[in-house]
Structure 1
Amino acid sequence: MSNCQLYLISPLDVSGQFPERLARALDAGMGGPAQIAAFQFRVKDVDEHEAARLAQPLQAICASREVAFIINDSISLAKRLGADGVHLGQGDGDVADARAELGRDAQIGVTCHASRDLGLEAGEAGADYVAFGAFFPTQTKVTEHRAELELLNWWQKLMEVPCVAIGGITPDNCRPLIEAGADFLAASHAVWGGDEVAAIKAFAQVLGKG
């Protein structure tokens, strides 16, 4: 069994039935090879008050299952909610600021695209994990950067900081990423674009093969 775990990223619409879908997905991974390590809350074009309202039930679902609840982009929202951490894009502030605001126990991740230099900078700045990608075309966002498997191999040989592979990852294409050394697989559309329980079980089949 591989040591790789899933890192779920929310769809942009987390209203309606989404809390129930999140609970089902997390429960489907519990105790199995598709254990979900973290859930990233990612919404756009809503103010912080509305984002906090949407986030709170999801945060409670994650907390009850000991899944890290990570806020995308916003250090201030992460602080307001007492989230487990924040994920920073290249334009969202730096690791030192996030650490000062959120404390030493916060999980701080940084998007490093396909760049070894950005990965090294983030690691030296004290990031808890780095995210590389996109490894495949993705329906979740426009991708300007395409990463190669060699990047994961290189990172694992050099650094102890965990790495997340992002971008269009599905149960059908993820095996090479696991073999190349990804510590976490980020999944969004592959899970939320259909039956979330079936998707987690399909990831489990791959992750369970080691």
Structure 2
Amino acid sequence: MNSSISGVYLVTPDCDDTERLCAQVSLALQGGVSVVQYRHKTASADLRYTQASALLALCRQANVPFLINDHVALAASLDADGVHIGQHDGAITEARAVLGKHKMIGASCYNRFALAVQAQAMGADYVAFGACYPSSTKPEAPKASPDLFTQAKQTLSVPVVGIGGITVANAPPLIAAGADALAVITDIFSASDIAARCQQYQSLFTSH
């Protein structure tokens, strides 16, 4: 399993159509995304299990890490590659206790560098800052400036991920500032050619 966090980090939208979601993620995997996070904030437990199981199988075939947003018990039951969690007190250590030392844990640090330092100290495998740009998924999210990525690369040893309102057009400054990976939802899933859009993102990293 390629467990590095770099390049295009795909985050799924809230989609109840499992067949459609799997088809879209398959195209993204063909386009070269390096990690997939299943995120569905309104799904029932049954739908979440069904979708996560199906997406895990796709990611296993592609040798791409599969993470689950928030639901640590679900990640453990499916033997997913890890979780991405918000910054709650003790959340990282609790997730580590459930998942074990070999699973990947990522932490949302919003626009607060101190949270990233704390997350790394607690054992997070990567940290995420956002929203980098205005986001339709989280319109109320605080703004994370490119300076955060530069500061993180100078101070932290874990990979740094940018998220929030990212498009192919506005991604380059974040990569230049030090982002190891960019988490994208809308700009990929709304593309007329999902695989080609993912390849566009990959080329931004390889040309940097």
What is the TM-score with the length of structure 1 in the denominator? 0.91
In the alignment, does 2:142 pair up with 1:140? no
Counterpart pick for 1:21 among 24, 42, 55? 24
Give deviations 1:12-56, integer Å, cap 9, x for gaps: 105232211111111122xxxxxx221000012223232101111
| Cα distance, 1:183–1:96 mapped onto 2, change above 3 Å | same
Pairwise mapping of residues 101-112 of structure 1 onto structure 2 (< 5 A)?
101-112=98-109
- 3-state DSSP of counterpart to 2:107: strand
Q: Is the 8 A contact 1:72 1:86 kept in 2?
A: yes
- Aligned-pair distance for 1:141? 2.1
- 3-state DSSP of counterpart to 1:8: strand
- Aligned-pair distance for 1:194? 2.0
Pairwise mapping of residues 27-176 of structure 1 onto structure 2 (< 5 A)?
27-29=30-32, 36-91=33-88, 94-176=91-173
- Aligned-pair distance for 1:92? 8.4
Q: Is the 8 A contact 1:73 1:92 kept in 2?
A: no
Which residue in the other structure is 1:33 paired with?
none
How many aligned residue pairs are there?
Answer: 202
Which residue in the other structure is 2:11 paired with?
9
- Residue type of the partner of 1:207? F
Give deviations 1:110-162, integer Å, cap 9, x for gaps: 00000011111101000000000111011222333101111100110011111
Counterpart pick for 2:195 among 190, 194, 197? 197
Q: Distance in 1 between matches of 2:34 and 2:88?
A: 25
Kindly report structure 1 stretches of 4+ aligned residues shifted beyond 6 Å. Answer: none
Gaps of 5+ in 1: 30-35
Q: Is the 8 A contact 1:86 1:109 kept in 2?
A: yes
| Cα distance, 1:61–1:187 mapped onto 2, change above 3 Å | same
- 3-state DSSP of counterpart to 1:208: helix
Q: Distance in 1 between matches of 2:45 and 2:114?
A: 32
Gaps of 5+ in 2: none
Q: Is the 8 A contact 1:74 1:92 kept in 2?
A: no
